[in-house]
Amino acid sequence: MQKDFKTVEESHVIISELMLPSHSNFNGKIHGGYILSLMDQIAFACASKHSGAYCVTASVDTVDFLRPIEIGELVTMKASVNYVGHSSMVIGIRVEAENIQNGNVKHCNSSYFTMVAKDKAGRSIEVPGLILKNDNQIRRFAKSIKKKTMKKKRIQEFLITDFSSDRYLHILEEHKVKLEKEA
């Protein structure tokens, strides 16, 4: 039997993984794509735990790589449900890397994945509501509402804006761009 509401803690997921040379890029740092893959996995686990259903990634909001992750560091990812809609959930993910030799921990990334719960036929299904217990959880939920509103406005603005090149030539002058229009 599925609950109508769940606490944030009920679907909280933490994973840790040692970063190996096989995870590195040509610069000797851990490949960002590998970190994104791990983030998608933990977002899936958290959303599925909350919804009790199979979940798919609908969108990823801003991924900023704040600090590089080194080979040999222990990466820990923490995921929690920040927001729920009808069938969607915003999963907040924090990525930290620990130098296991000296214990130094650094914040490397934070991101927000929107996940949607699906039934076996691939149709979106309703997810449980969220019980908020403290100011931090309320703040995260409110921030998610604000981000969702801002995203809708941005999409709408792009839909109604005329991006024909003649209208924006003056803006291009302020940027590092060279125009060589074809005849």
Where exactly are the structural domains of the chain? 5-132
Pick the CATH number of 5-132 from 3.10.20.740, 3.30.1280.10, 3.40.1800.10, 3.10.129.10: 3.10.129.10
Q: How confident is the model at residue 7 (pLDDT cuts 50, 70, 90)?
A: very high
Task: Return mean pLDDT, the chain.
Answer: 94
Q: Output the pTM of the full model.
A: 0.89
Q: Which of 101, 140, 113 is nearest to 35 (CA)?
A: 113
Percent of the chain with pLDDT over 70: 99
Q: Is the pLDDT of residue 157 over 80?
A: yes
Q: How confident is the model at residue 172 (pLDDT cuts 50, 70, 90)?
A: confident
DSSP labels for 122-182? S-B----EEE--SHHHHHHHHHHHHHHHHHHHHHHHHHH----HHHHHHHHTTSS------
> What local confidence, expressed as pLDDT, does residue 173 receive?
77
